[in-house]
Structure 1
Amino acid sequence: MTNSSSASSARADSRAGMNSDSRAASCSAPRVEARSGVRLDPRAKLYLLLLANLLLFFHVDTRGEAIMVALFLLPLFTAGRWRNGLRLTVLYVALLGLGLWSDAATMGGSGGSGGSLIGVIGGATGSAAGPSGTAVAAGNVAVTAASATSVMATAGHVAGLLSVGIRMMMPCLITGAYAFTTTSISEFVCAMRRMRVPEAIVIPCMVVIRFFPTIAHDYRQIRNAMALRGIAAGRFALVRHPVQSLEFIIVPLLMNATFVSRDLSVAALTKGLGIAGEHTCMTTIRMHWFDWAYMAMCTAPLALAIGGVL
């Protein structure tokens, strides 16, 4: 009886020792983030974001911009972000089509007056000063046609201005959306430390990454509370009731943003991120061959476009 009890206790001790060893090994071993689909290294994502800003800085033509946007959209689909990728693709294609239409309308409506409102007013004044009633009537018909053409040209100017302005920012939005939706905070911090970035920059970037999802969550909670009370309910209620939106959404959101930023900063400092010295990361990242290949593939069109070859 004594031998059996001692044997069972020995087996229990051995199992406890094995469990403690496995827990210690799991705690001491670095953790590798599980990746869904093919995802680039965080440093490669930051490089794509740099290329997007260079694309905006050098103002590359439409052909090179379309090629670069297609290359920037591809990682979103390979990472499994199909909904975001389709939305951004449809938006860019719509902006591109609007820009082409505005170019066609501007070229078709440009004449002696240049397709501007000043030309419309000047043409109307000159035609109304005809010597006879027939000339005035014919002039009115001509002014109506010219006014319609000039208004179309003016609308083309405005549409082209808006489409080009938003379309030029699309590469930055695409690469930023891919970088921040497919990168965890631990991966981002590890990438920044691998690049020898000072902690004075790492901590604010970490706070900013955590800030926007928290604000989005607070916004949804405010909208749910408003819908529960019947205030500005509906999808387009914010457009129909702008004053209520300003009072019930923006004001508490801005007040809450101050507390959120303070709490996130305190949480980051509590975890020891502000302590001087070398820090270690439980998450390991590594550059693979497809990271380098994709960085080179995205750099080539930009270099050709800047050099005037593409």
Structure 2
Amino acid sequence: MMTTVFSDSSVPDEQRRDLLYRGEVFVYSAAPAATALVTFARELIADAFGALDPETAQFEMDVEDFAKLLAELKPRFIHHPRCKELLPSVMEERGCDPSATYFDVPRLRTSTSHDYLVSGISYAFHPHRDCWYSAPFCQVNWWIPVYGVVPENVMAFHPRYFDEPVANGSARYDYAEWNRVNRLSAAQHVRSDPREQPRPEQSIELEPQVRVVPEPGGVLMFSGAQLHSTVPNTSGRTRFSIDFRTVHLDDVRGHRGAPNVDAACTGTTLRDFVRCNDLSGMPDELAVDYEKRALV
């Protein structure tokens, strides 16, 4: 299929979600709320790395020390109360209804250069859909660079496969089991990562692909059903980025979203989402409904 990238589009959120569910991609220039989130992330990063330049520190640190630093930095960012204050503003800035939009925790991601650290705490993602990991098909992914990025250290979309099935291991993935056994062990895997994660079980044609290069604080939005991957970083700089995910309550209730062409996982991530305006959790009956449907 053909993927269209909408730049600084003014379409309302409902129309945008419909386009995202059809495989389109949106990118927005940096604006005050997203810039504030990036500024906060930079403060935490600078505090963690001290006198070292975070983008080149990998060339001055043993990989085990680098992984240990990230194992302390990333949870600090994820669970910092300031993030829950800033994220709703980022979504409102992009036209989302705070009373109906739910979000999960923001993650600080890293992609090191030249295979320095590609497992565990700095996992380099193979081609995948988030929907292989029990994400709902109405999930929208948000991706924001913290520092400048280039085509050699961003992510790639593989639009041919948006509506084409890919043989994959999602049938062996259960979200509750992943949380119970695997999530907390990420920092232990420095040289390799033995945790089984859904991945293609057939040859994937990586070309043609789409790479989008937003400015720091720019926002990239795409469907969780998009097949995407981490570009092998050859830039000479570690990439830092923020990502989080949103769902709209009406779409969750109505089971509206992108088509399921190949996901067979069980469980649901819906309990991870909280509402923008009051941080209340997703109604549990909706999560139960999705869990039951996943078993059918």
Q: Same fold (TM over 0.5)?
A: no
Give the greater-gyration-radius structure (CA): 1
User: Under a length normalisation based on structure 1, what TM-score does the superposition of the two structures give?
Assistant: 0.24
Q: Which has the higher helix share?
A: 1
Q: Which has the higher strand share?
A: 2
User: Under a length normalisation based on structure 2, what TM-score does the superposition of the two structures give?
Assistant: 0.24
